[in-house]
Amino acid sequence: MHELYTVLAEYYDTIYRRRAERIMEEIDFVEEIFREDAGRPVKGVLDLACGTGIPTLELARRGYDVIGLDLHEEMLEIARRKAKKEGLKIKFIQGDALKIEFEEEFDAVTMFFSSITYFDDSAIQQLFNSVKRALRPGGVFIADFPAWHYGGRDGPIVWDEVKGDERLVITDWREVEPAFQKLHFKRLVQIIKPDGSVKAFFVNDELNIYTPREMRLLAERYFTGVRIYGNLHRDLNPKEGRYWLVAIE
Ligand SMILES: C[S@@+](CC[C@H](N)C(=O)[O-])C[C@H]1O[C@@H](n2cnc3c(N)ncnc32)[C@H](O)[C@@H]1O
């Protein structure tokens, strides 16, 4: 598990190039939530499961004081390198999102790009509890998660990307266990070197499927104002491909 964030960490930004290109829109939406939903002005942000820092860096570029936390040092090394190159002051720390011990230190906590679906219903409650503690009064927690049950393709989906003189061929598919609401996300990454040799990596991650209603009910155990928005707009329609959980401390 987690090959994508260890041996393949240096290819993460290439694999998700198209998503990285849309990060400005995502952070525009997050800033709208900061302005419209948070119960306090937002300056200090904790970005949990920050990965290579795609959203973390964009928040810092816009003037927020950001700390990025991730389980995998391989991902953090890339994030630190990118921040240094841009002269951005961001603290990146290695840690488990479930074990954070911050006490009223942030105006917002974020968790982007389906990272929250790594946690099952018991772990997610541990997460909510720690996030709530980390937030200052009126602070906001924001996490996006996919609508796996609606209109998604079980695959395979194949696409290619280029990284320097290497070519990547990525094949994704998934197996859903509806009774347990588990999603087995599978990915084959083939890296084709300039001499034609191929290195292949297999990713097999177990993710949890949440409906918007389940996510809201779980979050309401810990937070006061809980809203589920659609993708990049502050309402919800039945055809969303992605949801945003917004929860106020
Ligand atoms: C899909 S990536 C998202 C990365 C980043 N948020 C982004 O938007 O590009 C999921 C991230 O979750 C991290 N992760 C998984 N379990 C974690 C945990 N228990 N604590 C902290 N980070 C975790 C992985 O290392 C990986 O970087």
Cβ–Cβ < 8 Å for 58, 25: no
| Ligand 1 centroid from CA 169, angstroms | 22
| One domain for residues 52 and 171 | no
| Ligand 1 centroid from CA 196, angstroms | 32
Choose one of 71, 92, 113, 208 to mutate for the ligand 1 pocket test, by most ligand atoms within 8 angstroms of C-beta.
71
| One domain for residues 215 and 187 | no
| One domain for residues 165 and 85 | no
pLDDT score for 118: 97
| One domain for residues 137 and 187 | no
Q: Determine the atom of ligand 1 nearest the C-alpha atom of 97.
A: 20
Residue nearest to atom 14 of ligand 1 (CA): 49
Choose one of 70, 76, 207, 242 to mutate for the ligand 1 pocket test, by most ligand atoms within 8 angstroms of C-beta.
70
Count the domains in the chain.
2
List, edge to edge, every strand of the sheet that includes 135-146.
Answer: 91-94, 65-70, 44-48, 106-111, 135-146, 242-248, 226-229
| One domain for residues 219 and 201 | no
Which 8-state DSSP code applies to residue 47? E
Cβ–Cβ < 8 Å for 68, 93: yes
Question: Domain range spanning residue 176?
Answer: 157-208
- What is the domain-level CATH number for residue 124? 3.40.50.150
pLDDT score for 2: 81
Pocket of ligand 1 (CB under 6 A): 5, 49-51, 54-55, 70-72, 75, 96-98, 112-115, 118
| One domain for residues 204 and 239 | no
| One domain for residues 51 and 69 | yes
| One domain for residues 11 and 83 | yes
| One domain for residues 118 and 196 | no
How many Å apart are CA 236 and CA 110, to the nearest integer?
A: 20
| One domain for residues 135 and 118 | yes
- What is the domain-level CATH number for residue 183? 2.20.25.110
Q: Going residue by residue through the chain, which has 249 residues, state the pLDDT in tens, using 9 for 90 and above.
A: 688 899 999 999 999 999 999 999 999 999 999 999 999 999 999 999 999 999 999 999 999 999 999 999 999 999 999 999 999 999 999 999 999 999 999 999 999 999 999 999 999 999 999 999 999 999 999 999 999 765 556 679 999 999 999 999 999 999 889 899 999 999 999 999 999 999 999 999 999 999 999 999 999 999 999 999 999 999 999 888 999 999 999
How many Å apart are CA 239 and CA 248, to the nearest integer?
A: 25
| One domain for residues 22 and 35 | yes
| One domain for residues 74 and 139 | yes
